[in-house]
Structure 1
């Protein structure tokens, strides 16, 4: 079986986790602090705050920006449901706009058209690791006095060219960027997330909110030669990362450039292998360099998506359908008037994600391409 994804973990990460376990400090502690420093340095962000997952990162981002009841947040439906859920967690209303005609990212023109007096923020997703048009979105946010949050769950290692310079996703260009370290991402800590920002006040709020609003974290209290009584300054959450996860993450960070380079090679090879099959193949804008967290192809209109996926599974190749649309799921399918989302729906219904991971061999990719070719011929 060729899986849809496979994390690259070996003895280096096992030894790092082993050392963290034996250190006696397994909750949020010195490894988390080191991971935050190293991640911030890698993406060029002044501040990075580690949390339990990217869902909690997005939730804290919106809470720190004081998004609340009565507010509207513009985002895409075409994303994992956590993007929309986090807006609801704050009591705000997600306003869904469609993706662009090219690619699978939010359309800045539709964002601009969706702004109302109640709009508080924009959540822009770098879908499948492909950077969205940050230059246009920053201009829209600045013009409207809106916060811009980058859902960079899939985008560790991706780059964007703004003003002639290449820079990593996560610096960030918006107010906040949120990352995931789920096993399907390019680097993993099992579960885990990171929030980056240029604003020290926002970073302080993240750190309070992730640990019950506690004024003095455990590292400070344990290191202090005098007794410290902590205060609880706000209603917070338990969104901490463990030192075991952070130790693994520090090892994964060292691999990130190599992993991205490998995935870019694999994506280019897929492009060559699949070009004759009549599929809609993904491409990069001239100003974007994707980490290729996923490789998404659009099937011909006459082909049955589920049947292709099942027959490929029967041939030993795992796939996934196109990225979901939150507005079609029970929590958001409430009959409310919404913008035209036909491009998002078409992407979900006509696309499939192919296996892509660093350990894939050329023979693995040939097998995937051959299985897909066979099924397309059967349904032609």
Structure 2
């Protein structure tokens, strides 16, 4: 990347994270241990949950959540196609079938109506995504799922710091899965978390992430007496390291500042983009506030430049942008997979792009992004 290029994302990492990681290494305890436990407690408290279970990624968090619910072969799980493919893949991991539902055009999220259109007698769960940090209307979805006698799992990969009805996303969730990938607001490099208020599920999820053992490695190593562990069921190696958790604790302490800055930049984008007709920016829904993990714009039908052509024009101007959120049902991995018509999903996926937004972004960089969009539009209009 050239020095003058505007990146789509830069994690806000610095000396404090470096010292925390170094301290973990120098402590001699680099595997899952006391820092992981501290990160779990701090994260759960932040989102208003009783329990946090740190894992290796959001994908593994989703997988374990479905295992805990007993989802398996012959079952269906309603998911949005408009999501990173891991959402649908996690359903496949347990042998069940993802059933793709369409989404709300303004938020990119499932609604009670879109779920109701596709759920069947074989449906055993609904997996809702807080897309790009925009909170889904989980109060409505939870009420509907209760009526249908279906558990609601929340894919909150992008949503740390977002709110619904004044409460953090994750508050009151049956099971919520989180990501700490570098593109996310809080990062540990890689890693994930499950949050829940159910102590029984939390205990089982901790076993499942560590090969199904009834005593964790940390418990065995800190015990003064020999511990002969048992393996109560087939489990997985989905652990987080103490080095990652040490970074995560520092990142969590920065969260309020990160959210405030991202919302400030999003508001400034909103103002600047008024001068570029034909673009509809993502905005807060009526039921909550976004952390603006991603800031995307939807090209109106009259916009003179196609999405891919616009991405190329931005790249030529030194601006890194990304295509909009993928439509999983259009990917080769799901070729031939049965699906109802998904017009909103395909419209958002085909005609949107994600603009640069990161904590250290300057006004000059943001001005360059908007100027490049305006220039591409004007150039095509002249042709």
Q: In the TM superposition, what is the alpha-carbon distance from 1:107 to its structure 2 partner?
A: 2.5
Q: Compute the TM-score of the two structures, normalised by the length of structure 2.
A: 0.96
SS in 1 for 2:333: coil
Q: CA separation in 2, counterparts of 1:378 and 1:340? A: 35
Q: In the TM superposition, what is the alpha-carbon distance from 1:102 to its structure 2 partner?
A: 2.2
Q: CA separation in 1, counterparts of 2:129 and 2:36? A: 25
Equivalence map 1:184-223=2 (5 Å): 184-223=183-222
Q: In the TM superposition, what is the alpha-carbon distance from 1:112 to its structure 2 partner?
A: 1.8
Q: Where does residue 116 of structure 1 map in the other structure?
A: 120
Q: Where does residue 17 of structure 2 map in the other structure?
A: 13
Q: CA separation in 2, counterparts of 1:118 and 1:27? A: 40
CA contact (8 A) 1:48 1:203 kept: yes
Equivalence map 1:43-54=2 (5 Å): 43-54=47-58
CA contact (8 A) 2:129 2:136 kept: yes
CA contact (8 A) 1:147 1:174 kept: no
Moved more, 348-357 or 299-308: 299-308
Q: Where does residue 170 of structure 1 map in the other structure?
A: 170
CA contact (8 A) 1:178 1:194 kept: yes
Q: In the TM superposition, what is the alpha-carbon distance from 1:287 to its structure 2 partner?
A: 1.9
Aligned residues: 374
Q: Where does residue 131 of structure 1 map in the other structure?
A: 135
Q: Which runs of 4+ in 1 moved over 3 A?
A: none
CA contact (8 A) 2:156 2:170 kept: yes
- Deviation string, structure 1 residues 290-320 (Cα, Å, up to 9, x no partner): 1000000012334211111011111110000
SS in 1 for 2:233: coil
SS in 2 for 1:359: coil
- Deviation string, structure 1 residues 246-274 (Cα, Å, up to 9, x no partner): 00000000000110000000000000000
Q: Compute the TM-score of the two structures, normalised by the length of structure 1.
A: 0.97
Q: In the TM superposition, what is the alpha-carbon distance from 1:65 to its structure 2 partner?
A: 0.6
Q: Where does residue 28 of structure 2 map in the other structure?
A: 24
- Whether 2:298 is the aligned partner of 1:294: answer no
- Whether 2:350 is the aligned partner of 1:349: answer yes
SS in 1 for 2:280: coil
SS in 2 for 1:40: helix
- Uncovered stretches (5+) of structure 1, i.e. residues with no partner: none
CA contact (8 A) 2:40 2:52 kept: yes
Q: CA separation in 1, counterparts of 2:223 and 2:243? A: 23
Q: In the TM superposition, what is the alpha-carbon distance from 1:285 to its structure 2 partner?
A: 1.7
- Deviation string, structure 1 residues 107-165 (Cα, Å, up to 9, x no partner): 2201123221111100000000010011110011111111100000000011110xxxx
- Uncovered stretches (5+) of structure 2, i.e. residues with no partner: none
Q: In the TM superposition, what is the alpha-carbon distance from 1:352 to its structure 2 partner?
A: 0.5
CA contact (8 A) 1:17 1:248 kept: yes
- Whether 2:362 is the aligned partner of 1:361: answer yes
Q: CA separation in 2, counterparts of 1:205 and 1:314? A: 51
Equivalence map 1:1-380=2 (5 Å): 1-161=5-165, 166-171=166-171, 173-278=172-277, 279-301=279-301, 302-336=304-338, 338-380=339-381
CA contact (8 A) 2:328 2:334 kept: yes
- Deviation string, structure 1 residues 2-27 (Cα, Å, up to 9, x no partner): 11100000000000000000011101
Q: CA separation in 2, counterparts of 1:113 and 1:184? A: 32
SS in 2 for 1:88: helix
- Cα RMSD of the aligned pairs, angstroms, is 0.9
Q: In the TM superposition, what is the alpha-carbon distance from 1:335 to its structure 2 partner?
A: 4.9
CA contact (8 A) 2:107 2:285 kept: no
